[in-house]
A and B are shown apart, each in its own frame.
Chain A
Amino acid sequence: MYRYDEFDATFVRQRVKQFRGQVERRAAGELSEDEFRPLRLMNGLYLQLHAYMLRVAVPYGTLSARQMRKLAFIADSYDRGYGHFTTRQNIQYNWPRLPDVPDILGHLAEVEMHAIQTSGNCIRNVTADHWAGVAADEVEDPRPYAELMRQWSSLHPEFSFLPRKFKIAVTGSQADRAAIRYHDIGLRLKKNTQGEAGFEVFVGGGMGRTPMLAARVRDWLARDDLLTYLEAIMRVFNLHGRRDNKYKARIKILVHALGAEEFSAQVEEEFARTGAPRIMPGEGELKRIAAYFAPPGYDALRDDDPALALRLEKHKDFAGWVERNVSAHGVPGYAIVNISLKPIGGIPGDASADQMRAVADLAESFSLDEIRISHEQNLVLPNVRKRDLFAVWLSLGEHGLADANIGLASDIIACPGLDYCGLATARSIPVAQDISKRLGEPARQREIGDMKIKISGCINACGHHHAGHIGILGLEKRGREYYQITLGGSGDESASVGEIIGPGFSSENLSGAVETIVDTYVELRQNGETFLEAYRRVGPEPFKEAVYATH
């Protein structure tokens, strides 16, 4: 894991002090709310429906036990004993008081964390594959580059007042677990025939009211050109992105208006002109960062563990959990444990301070002190010895964290919606709870199989509904909530945008409609097709027919 040196530590401390000064000037009336707003947003502080909300960055989703304990401490001391993990590898606290925020940021700085640029029209927290460094199918660990981009984007002098927010995601695998084509910039780390590292570059993806998949602008970008090329993209966007209409201000609109080819040509011209001065750090600095991500001290183990085999035979529940929640690790004898934050009928992504501490303890005892946050609002213990899986499962169970539903119908992504968010047009949490109760019976959801249901409480699409196999968008008409359903979306390497199936549903009818869609799929699937495969084969018609006949 990356560790701050004195430089990073001083940087973050100075930033906290600077914000403390801004909060004081706001309190003294020296800054108007209009002036203060962008400043607090760039420090992760929103004003929500009922209170302030602080969004803390978990850069590329990697945490240590000590950091997780600090998040629990903040939840206890400044919130109501819980935190909410988001789709962008952040954690949100819903009830901080403004005067306390500089102190909270101070606590975070103590454990090498911050809330810098988790909001505002700037480059946001850089996200990465949550299995980075441990996935069996990885070409190279993308985190050293994610860390490089975290540093480069922090308080960037030229790109802190962009037309709109800007999101970058990076993966090092062919399987895309970071939804790179739904980001403003998506990067896929790869190697050329000489074994040198470089990137495939996608630009202009996004959700919101105009969902778009990012266009590929470079098949190969040499590693040493990474930051220079990113600066070229950012400069074209900063100068030419629309600022007259916030709904048309994301880079996807610019890419679409110019056409990917013309946009790319402008970027290449800018890139060609920016030879000197040097933007990338030297080899030594790249090595310094990469060294922090060297594989931890793994034991030399046999891949199969006899004790595990025995336990799998004896404990059906355990076996079911292993099947859904445990994934292949690149090192023999190790496994990746995915911890579901989606208990049946619970709030997706919420964790109590006690649960955070329990996960921290497990990470220390069983995962070489590492925890990951996934963009699907779950947690990951990336380095568990297979022989320890049973102990980890038992302990998770004691803390209500052993739901065996990763990737299943009740593993729902939902934004906070009208329960918290000032922009919401409808509630999303109760909808998620309803659906999860309806489909969450263990045998039933196993029977349904891989299913991504994603729910947003308004057109901004923070719940990624466009990328849901079943996507749900909450809207409002004449004071009543109603919900639009889209089908066939996907955020993985076969990315697609979901299609609206027809008129919306009331909150009473919605979960029934979702169930009808699921039942229709179960009936028509062939040879073990997943929902997405079946949908791609048959199209929307059978689903429409079934849903509108009954609802």
Chain B
Amino acid sequence: MPLIRDGEIIADTWRVLDEGAEIPGQGDVILSLERLRNGAGQIAARAGRTGVAIENSADPGELEAHLAHLDLIALDFPAFTDGRAYSQARRLRVHFGFAGELRARGSVLADQAGFLTRVGFDTFELAGGQSLKVWNASARSMTLAYQRGYDGGQATREAVTELPAPA
């Protein structure tokens, strides 16, 4: 499944650590929330980068104590209609100031591109059979947005003062 960042397919340097496996000192690994909790000391000492994948029912507040050691947080879409991870992302960015990589996994559809970007996701594991072309077309389909205080490439009314006045 292709990994997308900034409208391009990129190589994925991260691997999800198997449940039983030893946490390696090197390399980019994604842990479960439980491994993260239990291995705090070990993780702080790692040379490689550390990420965590949480379920969409988890409280993002649980990650607060670990944020200094986290370079990636992967949030899950068990179905693309299950939108809890949008609010998890928002809390991580705004309440906890997480500045690392936010990754969308699971049932990630091209048609979500604009929404995902605006709440602060950076990378997207595109679900089965969709092309980068469709993703990018969708990501660019709306260039304007009404909501203030969100990120992403869409412009709010204040940001597009050069648009012509009403006819």
Contact = CB atoms under 8 A, between A and B. Distances in A.
B167 to A, nearest CB: 8
A278 B149 contact: yes
Contacts of B157: 7, 281, 285
Nearest to B142: A14
A21 B94 contact: no
Contacts of A11: 142, 144, 146
Contact of A5 (B90, B147, B152, B163): B163
A264 to B, nearest CB: 18
Contacts of A528: none
B134 interface: yes
B95 A155 contact: no
Nearest to A35: B109
Interface residues of A, number: 44
Please indicate which of the listed interface residues B81, B88, B145, B163 has the most CB atoms of chain A within 10 Å of its own CB. Answer: B81
A160 B163 contact: no
A268 B144 CA distance: 30
A161 B82 contact: yes
A6 B166 contact: yes
Contact of B148 (A4, A155, A281): A281
A239 B165 contact: no
Interface in B16-56: none
A7 B163 contact: yes
B87 A235 contact: yes
Contacts of A7: 144, 157, 160, 163
A277 interface: yes
Given A18-B141, A235-B90, A154 B146 contact: yes
Interface stretch (B66-74, B98-106, B110-118): B110-118
B92 interface: no
Interface residues of B, number: 42
A157 B86 contact: yes
Interface string A11-41: 1001101100110010000100001001100
A155 B86 contact: no
Given A4-B166, A5-B166, A274-B94, A162 B83 contact: yes
A339 to B, nearest CB: 30
A39 B147 contact: no
B118 A157 contact: yes
Contact of B119 (A4, A15, A157, A277): A157
Nearest to A19: B141
A206 B80 CA distance: 26
A158 interface: yes
Contacts of A121: 81
A238 interface: yes
A17 B141 contact: yes
A444 interface: no
Nearest to B118: A157
A123 to B, nearest CB: 11
A152 interface: yes
B142 A18 contact: yes
Please indicate which of the listed interface residues A10, A155, A273 has the most CB atoms of chain B within 10 Å of its own CB. Answer: A155
Interface of A: 3-7, 10-11, 14-15, 17-18, 21-22, 25, 30, 35, 38-39, 121, 151-152, 154-162, 235, 238-239, 243, 273-274, 276-282, 285
Given A5-B165, A161-B115, A277-B148, 6 more contacts: A6-B166, A7-B160, A18-B141, A155-B114, A161-B80, A281-B157
25 contacts: A5-B166, A7-B157, A10-B143, A10-B144, A11-B144, A14-B142, A39-B111, A121-B81, A157-B115, A157-B116, A157-B147, A158-B90, A159-B86, A160-B86, A161-B81, A161-B82, A239-B87, A274-B94, A278-B148, A279-B147, A280-B148, A281-B148, A282-B158, A285-B157, A285-B158
User: Which 8 A-B residue pairings sit nearest by Cβ, starting from the closest?
Assistant: A161-B83, A277-B149, A157-B118, A18-B141, A151-B146, A6-B163, A5-B166, A157-B115
